[in-house]
Chains A and B, each alone.
Chain A
Amino acid sequence: MRDKIEAALKRSRADYTEIRIEEREATTVAYRGKDLETASAVIDAGGIVRCLCKDRGWGIATFNDRGDLLTKVEQAYQCARVAQSEEPIELAPIPVSEDRIAVTLEHDFRGTTMAGKKALAEEYNSILLGHSDRIVDTQCGYNDTFSRVFFANSEGTFIEEERPMITLWVMVITRDGDNVQTATETRSGQKGFDFVQGREEMAQAVAQRAVDLLSAETVVGGQYPVVLNQMLAGVFIHEAFGHLSESDFVYENPKAQEMMVLGRRFGQDILTVLDDGSLPGLRGTHKYDDEGTPTGRTDLIKNGVLVGRLHSRETAAKMGEKPTGNARATGYRYPPIVRMTNTAIEGGETSFEDMIQDIELGIYACDMYGGQTALENFSFSSAYAYMIRDGQIAEMVKDVILAGNLFTTLMNIDAIGNDFEWMQAGGTCGKGQGGLPVTFGAPHIRIQNVVIGGK
């Protein structure tokens, strides 16, 4: 494989060429209710060539047929010739790397049989099904994926990397007349089969939460002080701020650059936000990004002030900043674009008890269904929530959707908890390319004046 790749790179007429080949096998066992939806495996192999003609632009060829890389390189080159960039496109320099990253998992899931994987999913599924007669639907699934990725570029970088991922998900739907409620939980990481074993308590907790939500009242819409749990705070920072830190949003856009000026105050002194793709074992971690740039910690907000952003080689060059190792692609069908890896609000000083103590009427919002941003507007839903009354956690409420303007909301974060955690959830970020593995971390945080949609 290496010889073929290097031969094709040599023949390219572009200013810069890279080839990424991926060979992937994935197994999924998924239950829906008592039915087994699937216990199946897929084989997916393919590649992508990217060519850059500096005075024109990018050309891309993606393919399943890996037999003729020379033709694919030529096709990508012809595509690059069509592009019409107004200014020459530069790539910020990175070290030339030669590396082979093999994975050692203590309980490598490739050694587990289909029977074993099915038995695991079946066991958790029966916990869900047996929990309550108000449970009308469940989903319980297992997935493992093992990829071998070859990345090489015309600068001499050659990286071969093994990428494992294992995921467990459970979802419960309860029904009481027309009242239908959902609770979900996922666990995922670059880990072995043991990571998904011993999760019986998690399955029970999800089932119970779905039952509890049936008797929860819909929250009354309005403005409230809101305390977010670690999971929801992590989603919030990813959705509401993280995407604005992705420089492909900013770099072509002088007005957006005015909005995201380094040195501008975004939050109070207590707020620090970072992204780090190099932390071991986390879902968004890789030693190199998909352009061969080494990953690492990038501070985005430090003590309330914007100090950094996330880059690919192109956005870094355009903005005169350093590449940060955030060029990532969701598989070989896509070119790398600026994406988050593991994003976090750094832990602070305030205990959870102190955070809720002063709240006469507020909301404690937990976990999430999902979120979305359109630039300054964000919207995300918490999976479940509780009212806070006179400094105490009170009754459970549902349909809590937090929406608003990013800038005012970040400034309204007035307390950061001392209980930081990295999430091990199966979060995927769907920025135009489908789901890319990411994760987030945070402590509890408190935000004043949040608009909550409701009844």
Chain B
Amino acid sequence: MDILKQLSTEAEQVEVVNVQSESTTVGFEANRLKKSQVEETRGVAVRVVKNGRLGFAASSDEAAAEKLVSNALESAAYGDEIPIAFPAPQSAPKVTTFDQAITELSVPRMVEIGQEIIDVICLVEPDALVNVELERGVQHLSLRNQAGSNVSFRRSPLSISFEVNRIKGDDVLFMFDTLGTTVWEDDYLAFARRLGEKLELAKRSATIQSGRMPVLFAPTGALVLGLPLMLGLNGKNVYTRISPMVGKIGEKLFDDKITIVDDPTLDGKFGSASYDHEGVAHRRNVLVEQGVLKGFLYDLKTAAQTSASSVESSGVESTGNGSRSLFSPPAPSPTNLMFGAGETPLAEIIAGIDEGLLVENALGLGQGNVISGAFSNSLSLAFKIEKGEIVGRVKDVSIAGNVYDLLQDVAAVSRETEWVYRIFSLPYILLPDVNVVAKE
């Protein structure tokens, strides 16, 4: 049964997406190879517009094609009228998302790499217990719609996730990060060495008093600042008017050291591809430029809804940020989210801090009233900076604030940037005056 053909006789618009993927994973637990896993996934997701109403259905059961079709039509029967238009064929940038070298990574080679990572970390911290998971695979996505779009692409994602636990009595240190790429990186150990440096620093202890002080957010910690902004820039939250940035395009909301870009056209990066998951061509989107709000992230539906309801002063179109997983319809999502590099070398930033805090890892990301810009996080890894030097690790410390206040005055942004948590490129960001609470 050709689902597209069949549904085209029953609905004005039809979109059929087939996903198929295979992956292989090896996992180390507490420094030892513990498991290996093979995964196969396949499924079909369908959207239809019938009598102007939008419906969705999905299935991973090949035997259930007829039920899938009737589910899609039933969903549209009860769906809302949405002025959405599935795109006609469009040209898109060529973006490298596939590397044979990754798909040819043998299991023994993956085991070797995992062991190399553990060795780098345990050299610095012999008491560390490291969990590492390496996953490599091939993903195929194909999209067809009644407007003639016929897009298919494949990716070869490689992810390396790690978690480090080091326990000495009641003193517990915990950190985690994930690397993601679709093109093989020769210096795959770079992040492990960086981690080793942090562990070395953590061997010394320091104490800190509660109060307001300069806080330097390392890239892994800067997500605390990035997460509320991500929510604020999301077209869904613009359409529903809960983003604090609604109606402020063109306004200077932040310090001019803040530039934020979403760029899915970078070869080999985890969020990259030629098209989004609705067949819309990818492009580089500038969201904030030197503190001035330039745009939001939209998919087809949120752009259509936003334009129809005049939330923003002019009509908007999809920015190519429609993202989906098999069982969910598309929603706006960043692809590769990048905060622009600054002008100041990191060493200089640290040297200029008389008394402050360096935030590496925070707990509880996403808790609390994040959409309002508020963050309040206890820190699983943070250091005291005294007279221009990192003097030791502090424990039982938390920070709080609101990014819409704090990012109006940024003391410095580093030249150096790092890719963290797969799709974020972040520099070190120094805020001069943040509330720090330390347990006495």
Contact = CB atoms under 8 A, between A and B. Distances in A.
A453 B83 CA distance: 45
Contact of A375 (B59, B174, B371): B174
A270 interface: no
B378 A453 contact: yes
B170 A41 contact: no
B129 to A, nearest CB: 6
B78 A259 contact: no
A65 B38 CA distance: 13
Contacts of B244: 178, 180
A76 B378 contact: no
A60 interface: yes
A64 B26 CA distance: 20
A106 B396 CA distance: 50
Given A76-B38, A79-B37, A259 B363 contact: no
Interface stretch (A42-50, A153-161, A292-300): A42-50
B240 A137 contact: yes
Interface string A54-90: 0001111111110000000001100110111110000
Chain A binding surface, main DSSP class: strand
Contact of A401 (B35, B210, B376): B376
B57 A42 contact: yes
Contacts, number: 249
A223 B57 CA distance: 50
B172 A32 contact: no
Given A64-B43, A253-B129, A453-B378, A43 B64 contact: yes
Size class of the A contact interface (CB-based, 8 Å): 35 or more
Given A58-B35, A180-B244, A401-B400, A381 B327 contact: no
A180 B32 CA distance: 47
A223 B439 CA distance: 8
B240 A33 contact: yes
Interface stretch (B68-76, B135-143, B278-286): B68-76
Nearest to B133: A432
B80 interface: yes
Contacts of A75: 38
B74 A114 contact: yes
Contacts of B61: 23, 43-45, 64
A376 B363 contact: no
Interface in B160-197: 165, 167-170, 172, 174
Interface in B232-277: 240-242, 244
B36 interface: yes
B439 to A, nearest CB: 5
Contacts of A32: 240
Contact of A59 (B36, B39, B127): B36
Nearest to A56: B33
Interface in B306-345: 327, 329
Interface string B21-54: 0000010011011111111111100000000000
A173 interface: yes
A83 B33 contact: yes
A369 B167 contact: no
A376 B166 CA distance: 11
A256 interface: yes
Contacts of B71: 40-43
Contacts of A83: 33-36
A372 interface: yes
Nearest to B372: A180
B170 A82 contact: no
A156 B202 CA distance: 51
B89 interface: no
- Sorted nearest first, the 5 A-B pairs with minimum C-beta distance are A403-B378, A379-B364, A252-B30, A60-B37, A375-B172
8 contacts: A38-B79, A57-B36, A85-B32, A253-B165, A255-B168, A371-B367, A377-B395, A379-B363
Given A42-B58, A44-B327, A63-B40, 6 more contacts: A41-B74, A44-B59, A45-B61, A59-B37, A221-B435, A369-B368
